[in-house]
Chain A
Amino acid sequence: MPEPILAAAGFTYTYPDAPAPALADIDLELEPGSLTVLAGESGSGKSTLLRAACGLVPHFHGGEASGELSVGGLDVRDNGPGELSQVCGTLFQEPESQVVMGGVRAEIALGLEHRGESPAAVARAVEEAALALGIAHLLSRRADTLSGGELQRVALAAAMAHRPRLLLLDEPTSQLDPVAGDELIWMLRRLNEEWGTTIVLSEHRLERCLPAADRVLALDRGRLACDAPPSEFLAWAAEARPVLATPAARLFSLAGLRPLPASVKEAKKTLGVSGLGGRVSEPASTRRRKRGQAALELRSVWHEIADGPAILRGVDLRVEAGELVALMGRNGAGKSTLLKHAKGLLEPTRGSIKASGEVALLLQNPGDYLIHEHAREEAGERALLGAGLQGRGEADPRDLSGGERQRLALEVVLSGEEPPAVVCLDEPTRGMDRARKEALALRLHELAAGGAAVIVATHDPEFAARLADRVLLMGEGELIADGSTAEVLAGGWYFATEVARVLGGAGGALTPEQGAAVLERELVS
């Protein structure tokens, strides 16, 4: 066996002032040229392990480390991030916070210049990295004109321009829309297969990256809970950590089928079918819904800007009290603009909007709502209780976990005198693990049960399937589909859950539970 690119023996690390270690007794060896996925719930230690591998832990963050961890033969306790950067490239979650220079070419060149490479070598490496990642057309662009997906690819090019043997990626797709996220994963697969770069990737949406993985490491409270190939990991997850299992694996597990699939292709192969049963019964346009009290009504709403295309084009929409609506569509389709209009942050250039009461809006970054030094000051004790943060009133909101921040931010926007008639959330599940998504869905169901109309803009079909009873699909500022969740998400190709793709839309099944019921029926008959 070749010398491992990363080797740990009893590695334990504790952040400064932390009561418990973030990593405990980690033993592992990574083979060169492998693609490894790190799985685990939020706070399980995935990011810490990656930060240890690139030397930020303990050199940048401080704290106490014991045991052995070496990367490319360099001991991380003796070598800091500067030395380890010779061996590994690192990419974090937030693209805006890791691009240093103003221009794309200068950004990719920076690391090479740090190494003292000659201008000719720098120019060549920049060109090759840009071509490898399909961003040659961006080389002359300024960083502030790029989308999140483009920025993340530029950061990846900068991390790998010096051809590191190991690439460490900490949830690199969490801030990207699904198209950009999928493109990034394909890109990593290509780097791994064609250049032989060893890749270690942490990710919550495992269904996206398991098909490319050689191995999965599952962490639980800082300990290595599973170290296995994808199929064995799925079998372990189905038994021990169902929240880590992919939807297709959960479908098979619930239906009692084996082996558990790591991809839609594998699942279909096992089932031996390309589609089961008939599709959902009615097309979207013929759907009839009971007319209740309108909580929000948009009549022919346009949003036009002076020197660009119209962002909303005559949107007509009626959402009733107690309805749970998922608003889907690609980036730039107009989802966020529609929600801002509903809240009154934007005025329509034409058309009218009526709401039966207050509209609460939670924008994409919950941290933007938290502006005080103590959690209690954000919205009072009642909000802390609603967010499940009793006893944390004195905590600095910036020290709360991502999930806690979001719960608190939601309670902040809900903390008016009267309960809101409409609750809107813009991309609330970015970077969330499945357990946190379930908890959010539960809270939104509570709000709907209390009479609020809930509208959630999301790219996540699995979350939409869990949450909504109606899905609106937007494209180019128009509503292009409006139907029940099953109608819209079971019949689609891109806007479809993994279960719907496995079953070809059979029976309108979207979730593993619904899919398992369909499979049982089909298999029995």
Chain B
Amino acid sequence: MSLVPVYRRRASALHAARAGVSASFCLALAFAPILFDNPIVLGALLCAVIAAGIGAGVARELRRWAAIAFGLALLVVIVNPLVTSDGLTVLVRGGSFLGRRWDITLEATIYGAVAALRVLDVVLAFALLSAAVDPDELLRALRRVSYRSALTAALTTRLVPVLARDASRKSEAARCRPRPPGRSTVARAAVAGSLERAVELAAALEVRGYSRARRPQVARRPWSRHDFRVLASAVAIAGLAVVAKLAGAGGFQAYPTTHVSAGPAQAAVAVAFVALAAAPFLGAAGRLGVARA
């Protein structure tokens, strides 16, 4: 199994829709949490991504990304109360240092947790994108806008698993040495190895006519029901996020005391996000996916 979760074709509405549309759906799920601080809404958005992941058959990949993202989220939870002493409820008095007080407050800790939840939302939305959107198709579309950037991105998506395997082999070889070297030495060698790979790939690209590359022609493809359903969900999620934000449905006050708006408006927004994320996968039309695409 690959160390880094990668795209695999599966029978789901998200895989069957054109890459640009599927990417829009995932980006809408990544965009929404950026607008909100309210933990109810952020929690609902996490549920929405997970629901979409289950619907797309990539729950396993999301779980592996979640394991990676959890460390980052934990760091945010720990660091925020250390760098912010705002809030009235002091949990630990840290005294004065460098001209300021280093108290740990309940409010800063809660806000750290909220920020961590947002990090999880965004990372998992991008994980959904990497697991359910064909990178080749997406990058082919992007090549029409910026050829070299798109090809660089294509190479990156291709090279990540290759370099992960290279690093794993180097680490195994290090264990075979009578005096195994430190991790940093192996990591440095892996980086140097990746540069060699890059040079070889550059040569391979040259002999494939890269220097004379023209903008690829557009392939006309009729819009399928999956394209419509997924795009409608994407637009609805992004639209709901903007409207709810403007309407103040995501109310949250971190300091000086924590106040979470938790009324019918927040509940409605939360339920709507989950329902919209799950919508493309519901019903017979949503399940048939690849077979009729």
Which residues of A line the B interface, CB within 8 A?
54-56, 59-60, 80-86, 89-90, 92, 94, 96-103, 105-106, 110-111, 113-119, 140, 142-144, 158-159, 340, 343, 345, 358, 360-363, 365, 367-372, 398, 412-413, 415-417
Cross-chain contact of B205 among A100, A106, A362 (Cβ < 8 A): A100
CA distance A92 to B204 in the complex (A): 8
Asked if B136 contacts A97 (CB within 8 A), the reply is no
A82-B212, A144-B6, A144-B162 in contact; A119/B206 too (CB < 8 A)?
no
Which residues of B line the A interface, CB within 8 A?
2, 6-9, 134-137, 140, 143, 151, 154-155, 157-158, 161-162, 169-170, 172-178, 181, 185-186, 188-189, 192-193, 196-197, 200-220
Residues of A within 8 A of B204 (CB): 92, 97-100
* Residue on A nearest B186 in the bound complex, by CB: A371
CA distance A370 to B197 in the complex (A): 16
CB of A59, distance to nearest CB on chain B (Å): 8
Asked if B210 contacts A60 (CB within 8 A), the reply is no
Asked if B136 contacts A144 (CB within 8 A), the reply is no
CA distance A93 to B260 in the complex (A): 61
Cross-chain contact of B211 among A82, A94, A412 (Cβ < 8 A): A82
CB of A52, distance to nearest CB on chain B (Å): 12
Interface of B is mostly: helix
Asked if A144 contacts B161 (CB within 8 A), the reply is yes
Asked if B7 contacts A113 (CB within 8 A), the reply is no
CA distance A117 to B212 in the complex (A): 13
Query: What are some 5 contacts across the A-B interface (CB < 8 A)?
Result: A83-B212, A103-B136, A369-B173, A371-B185, A415-B177
CA distance A92 to B3 in the complex (A): 27
Residues of A within 8 A of B211 (CB): 80-82
A142-B7, A142-B8 in contact; A114/B176 too (CB < 8 A)?
no
CA distance A80 to B203 in the complex (A): 12
Asked if A413 contacts B155 (CB within 8 A), the reply is no
CA distance A116 to B202 in the complex (A): 20
Asked if B206 contacts A60 (CB within 8 A), the reply is yes
Asked if B169 contacts A97 (CB within 8 A), the reply is no
Cross-chain contact of B178 among A83, A116, A345, A415 (Cβ < 8 A): A415
A115-B209, A417-B178 in contact; A106/B140 too (CB < 8 A)?
yes
Asked if A413 contacts B176 (CB within 8 A), the reply is yes
CB of A80, distance to nearest CB on chain B (Å): 6
Asked if A119 contacts B207 (CB within 8 A), the reply is no
Residues of B within 8 A of A80 (CB): 206, 211
CB of A390, distance to nearest CB on chain B (Å): 21
Asked if A92 contacts B200 (CB within 8 A), the reply is yes
Asked if A111 contacts B7 (CB within 8 A), the reply is no
A81-B211, A97-B204, A144-B6 in contact; A360/B176 too (CB < 8 A)?
yes
Cross-chain contact of B196 among A56, A102, A105, A398 (Cβ < 8 A): A398
A54-B207, A98-B201 in contact; A416/B178 too (CB < 8 A)?
yes
Asked if A82 contacts B176 (CB within 8 A), the reply is no
Asked if A363 contacts B176 (CB within 8 A), the reply is yes
CB of B150, distance to nearest CB on chain A (Å): 11
Asked if A140 contacts B203 (CB within 8 A), the reply is no
CA distance A59 to B203 in the complex (A): 10
Asked if B201 contacts A82 (CB within 8 A), the reply is no
Cross-chain contact of B207 among A90, A94, A99, A101 (Cβ < 8 A): A90
A81-B207, A85-B207, A92-B203 in contact; A114/B178 too (CB < 8 A)?
no
CB of B259, distance to nearest CB on chain A (Å): 47
A92-B203, A94-B200, A343-B176 in contact; A82/B6 too (CB < 8 A)?
no
CA distance A244 to B170 in the complex (A): 33
8 additional contacts, CB 8 Å, given A100-B151, A368-B173?
Answer: A85-B209, A100-B154, A100-B158, A102-B7, A102-B136, A113-B216, A144-B161, A398-B192
* Residue on B nearest A418 in the bound complex, by CB: B178
Cross-chain contact of A118 among B140, B202, B203, B217 (Cβ < 8 A): B217
CA distance A116 to B214 in the complex (A): 5
